[in-house]
Chain A
Amino acid sequence: MKIYGVAVLSACFIAGQLIGEALGIFFHFDGNIGGVGFGMLLLIVLGDWIKKQNWLDAEAESGIHFWSGMYIPVVIAMSSTQNVKAALSGGWVALVVGVFATLLCFSLIPVLSRLQKKTDPSL
């Protein structure tokens, strides 16, 4: 049944959020630290394990795949609800800092990527 897959996904999501909130409280920070990331790691590990136990059939798994298929539509909805007007009305400082600081971060991607290849244990 599809709902089993969705339920596994929900369990991982909520557990991840709980870990993120707990970390936030631990560091005295009003918010969630990496809740989504922990949820993803849980789903990767748990999903793999459940599959090996044969507890999730293809039908149940399709419940999870439905949501990953909805991911791009969610992002489209998200971009259409951004405060674009405010972004453009922040003046020159906002525009210059926003664009150039971001470009600089982009330029570092190949640098770190080379570092990763050098230290790749599997090579």
Chain B
Amino acid sequence: MDFIPKLFAKNELIVAFLVVGLIMLVSVFISQKLLRNKIPGAAVAITLGLVLAYFGGKKGIADIPLFAGLAFFGGSMMRDFSIVSTAMGASLSEIKKTGWVGILSLFIGIAVAFFIGGSMGYFMGYTDIKSVATIGAGACTFIVGPVTGAALGASSDIIAISIAIGVIKTVVVTILTPLIAKRIGLNNPQTAMIYGGLIGTTSGVAAGLAATDPKLVPYGALTATFYTGLACLLCPSVYYLILSLFI
């Protein structure tokens, strides 16, 4: 009977299509019947994905051979390609309307995550400047943390913590965005762009907006995609120098 797992392994991407389709089907059912449409099906599905990931390992559920195709389907190439495709429905005039505040939101978002995250680490016992900076960078995204940590020569356990902070941020953003969207006025392209710039984690922003209102995805994703690159530039350099004035 070992031809069955072999067949699945050989066609892993197709299996992934089927698995995601089934997750969506179950989620829409939960959303409509159990939650009375209070939480959209996409939000349930993304949360369900995170729960499933817990039962896997480093690559989430894709560490289980049967689900290996999910790593490719949900990998950075497919993610970035499908994010770019959403731009087809976006309008340039809406983007222009946001203006310089959109760029400002990037700088403020990175600064707040870095300095507040870092000082929280400081008060929790990580008082040397390299650790503070790495923890603060982790509060930006799970890529900025290790990049900054490596640049400054922080220890590997601090880098691991910074990655964990970044992943927790992604999870928090994914789950929280659709729940508080109304309260923070996240229902128009301009606020979506500011949201993308302030929050920055592309995966979190992408998932959060998908669950809130798919029409807003291109606007939030547009600013968020500049966040990680900009943060990798600012955190180990300019923001680190500012930090060194205090520690």
Contacts and interface: CB of A to CB of B under 8 A. Distances in A.
Interface of A: 9-10, 12-13, 16-17, 20, 23-24, 27, 29-37, 39-41, 43-45, 47-48, 61, 64-65, 67-68, 70-106, 108-110, 112-113, 115-117, 119-122
Contacts of B80: 13, 17, 35-36, 39
Contact of A87 (B168, B199, B218): B168
A28 B120 CA distance: 30
Interface stretch (B31-39, B46-54, B238-246): B46-54
Contacts, number: 333
Contacts of B79: 74-75, 78
A77 B70 contact: yes
Nearest to B68: A81
A99 B172 contact: yes
Nearest to B183: A110
Contact of A81 (B61, B99, B143, B232): B61
B216 to A, nearest CB: 12
Nearest to B209: A75
A105 B88 contact: no
A103 to B, nearest CB: 8
A80 B130 CA distance: 32
Interface of B: 16-17, 19-21, 23-24, 42, 45-50, 52-54, 56-62, 67, 70-71, 73-75, 78-92, 95, 97-102, 104-105, 108-109, 112-113, 116-117, 120-121, 124-126, 135, 138-139, 143, 147, 160-161, 163-174, 176, 180, 184-186, 190-191, 194-195, 198-200, 202-203, 206-207, 210, 214, 217-218, 221-223, 225-226, 229-230, 232-233
Contacts of B163: 83, 86, 90
- SS class of chain B's interface: helix, strand, loop or mixed? helix
Contacts of A120: 97, 99, 190
Nearest to A123: B97
Nearest to B195: A109
16 contacts: A9-B84, A29-B229, A39-B84, A67-B82, A68-B85, A72-B24, A76-B74, A81-B75, A84-B50, A85-B57, A97-B117, A97-B120, A97-B139, A104-B116, A113-B184, A113-B194
